[in-house]
Amino acid sequence: MNIYSVKDAEALGEQAAAIVLDEVKRKPNLLLCAATGNSPLPLYQRLEKVVKNSDTLFQKARVIPLDEWIGLSSSEGSCDSYLQKWLLKPLKIYEENYFAFNPLAENMEAECSRIHEVLKKQGPIDLCALGLGKNGHLGFNEPSTTLNAHCHVANLTAASQQHAMISNAKKVPITGLTLGMQDILNSKRILLLISGKGKEAAKEQLFSKQINTQCPASLLWQHDHVDCMVVD
């Protein structure tokens, strides 16, 4: 894992965007796995500025979300609405190149199987952009004695249920859909973006290099190509 300290969110966005741009120039139809939340936001904002000068740069790019809240509408802070606003529309990603979860599916196990098949057909992920949860989670891969390898329904911890993204939700989601740890680790390259308050314990666990399923992010030490950027 390559770890870089950056002075602020803007610097994080610039450095992370440089990596994304290198990858998309090398492979125009790359498959990008995109996280939501405050940590990757500077990256997406920086990419939007770049695309204004080259609106065909991401013309062939494909995007798959990292996760989604189950039962949440677009107006209540879904991951889909976030990505539509900050990534898909600004980068002019074609609808057919976006492989969204269906958080209102009648059969969630079938939905997980569908996403698994999408990854088998479209993947592996070329670049996976992640944020670090306060409890060390990646997506909705929550701390546990065992971690799921592939797309699954996750029971959300109290920390995840208090996420700022769903502060306007009429009913707080208690479950979510997420790609599994093996899906993430199968990515050719991983970008881990860390910013925000309240993550000291998670960072300490991660940077101890001790791999433990109670800190899912620590499993990234098993990957050969991770770039981690941390706001001082």
Q: Does the active-site annotation cover 137?
A: yes
The catalytic residue among 23, 68, 111, 137 is 137
The catalytic residue among 76, 126, 142, 183 is 142
The pairs formed by 144-148 with CB atoms below 8 angstroms and a separation of 24 or more are: 144/213, 144/214, 145/213, 145/214, 146/213, 147/180, 147/181, 147/213, 147/216, 147/219, 148/180, 148/181
The catalytic residue among 97, 135, 141, 148 is 135
Q: Does the active-site annotation cover 135?
A: yes
Residue 73 CB partners (closer than 8 Å, separation 6+) = none
Beta bridge partners of 5: 230
The span from the CA of 57 to the CA of 71, in Å, is 34
Q: Does the active-site annotation cover 109?
A: no
Positions annotated as catalytic residues are 67, 135, 137, 142
